[in-house]
Amino acid sequence: MQIRKLFRVLVAGGAIIGGVVACGGSDKSQGQTSSPTTGGDGGTNPDGGMPGGGGTYGW
Amino acid sequence: MVKKTGQSELSQPLRQVVADAWTFRFNVEREAAIRFARLAKRLEGIGALPTVVEMTVRASHDEGRHARHCADLARRYGAALIPEEISAPEIAPPGLGDRERVLYEVVAACCITETESTSVLTSLFNEATDSRMHLILRQLLRDEVGHSRLGWAHLAHESTRGDVQYLGRLIPNMLEVYAQDGLFGAAPTELDAPELLSHGVLPHSMKRSIFNMTLLEVVFPGLESLGVPSGPAREWLVRRTAPAAQAL
């Protein structure tokens, strides 16, 4: 399974379970930037006063 | 070609690298089992799709089984494997409501971590030459696909119930653990040895490359397609992959 195929298998497959058809793929979103409602600070100093939060380790 | 081989061709330092990697995964899988068990209850409590709740319960059981596989492999490479106390605390930042806290954790654990794990396992599966390793990786890969999907399913469902744009600026917080784990820094020579690949361990530079490609080809487009802006996360990745950052 190639990485490019994972969008279809994981995202589109999951979205269908969730009742949504996910459009796009590897050639969509390239070069897209933050929407006007999001900060461009990478989450380190969000406008909404919600700093912190973490992630989970994987393989 | 899949064949039945041992691990005797590895030098002792590389054998230790492989043992450490499977020990790390043993703990990762144990933590994931606890997290999914908790998330299943939380998801049910917020009225998530029953299918997603069922998938999350199943994921918890899967991860327990994965931990046993990882333990077997760690011991096979000489790890003593003394189980440590494991916990899986909530990871959402303060200030979010109940529904948003659950969504944050599901996106971090499934849409990002399980998607990345699926990508890693795909690469490892394609390179495995040991018959037992091949069999284990196939089982793990099949399960991780389901774990990733449950996250995208929940995000998709939540995107139909309300605005999920707020997650955009929080995605870098979810990704930061990978930087803290040294993914973007220089690694000792033995961690980049190509011999590791056939023992179920990605060489460091390959791991970083697959991580970046999976973000760019799968995770970021997936988030965008479901209403979560990926701009802050893309900026985070640019910063983290800049030469100055890698030298740190």
- Interface pTM (ipTM) of the complex? 0.91
Q: Give pLDDT tens digits for A12-35.
A: 999 999 998 877 654 444 433 333
Partner-chain residue, chosen from A30, A38, A54, that has the shortest CB–CB distance to B168:
A38
Q: What per-residue confidence (pLDDT) applies to B247?
A: 55
Cα–Cα nearest to B176, from A44, A27, A28, A25: A44
Size of interface A-B (CB pairs under 8 A): 218
Q: What per-residue confidence (pLDDT) applies to B248?
A: 52
Q: What per-residue confidence (pLDDT) applies to A31?
A: 38
First to last CA, chain B: 40
Distance from CA of A22 to the nearest CA of B (A): 6
CB A55 within 8 A of CB B107: no
Q: Please give the backbone phi and psi of residue A51, each rounded to the nearest 5 degrees, phi first.
A: -75, 170
Residue B24 contacts by C-beta under 8 Å, 6 or more apart in sequence? Answer: none
With left for phi above 0 and alpha for psi between -120 and 50, is residue A19 left, alpha or beta? left
Q: What per-residue confidence (pLDDT) applies to A37?
A: 32
Average pLDDT, chain A: 67
Tell whether B64 lies on the interface with A, counting CB pairs under 8 A.
no
Tell whether B160 lies on the interface with A, counting CB pairs under 8 A.
yes
Q: What per-residue confidence (pLDDT) applies to B196?
A: 95
Q: What per-residue confidence (pLDDT) applies to B49?
A: 97
* Count of Cβ atoms closer than 10 Å to residue B240 Cβ: 21
- Is residue A51's pLDDT more than 70? no
Q: What per-residue confidence (pLDDT) applies to B145?
A: 98
Distance from CA of B9 to the nearest CA of A (A): 24
Mean pLDDT by 10 residues, chain B (248 residues): 56 96 96 98 97 98 96 94 88 95 98 97 91 93 97 98 96 94 91 94 96 97 98 97 66
Q: What is the pTM of this model?
A: 0.88
Residue with tokens 């077997």: B72
Question: Which residues of chain B lie closer than 8 angstroms to A41, CB-CB?
Answer: 169, 232
Cα–Cα nearest to A59, from B135, B112, B173, B37: B112
Q: What per-residue confidence (pLDDT) applies to A52?
A: 77
Q: What per-residue confidence (pLDDT) applies to B162?
A: 94
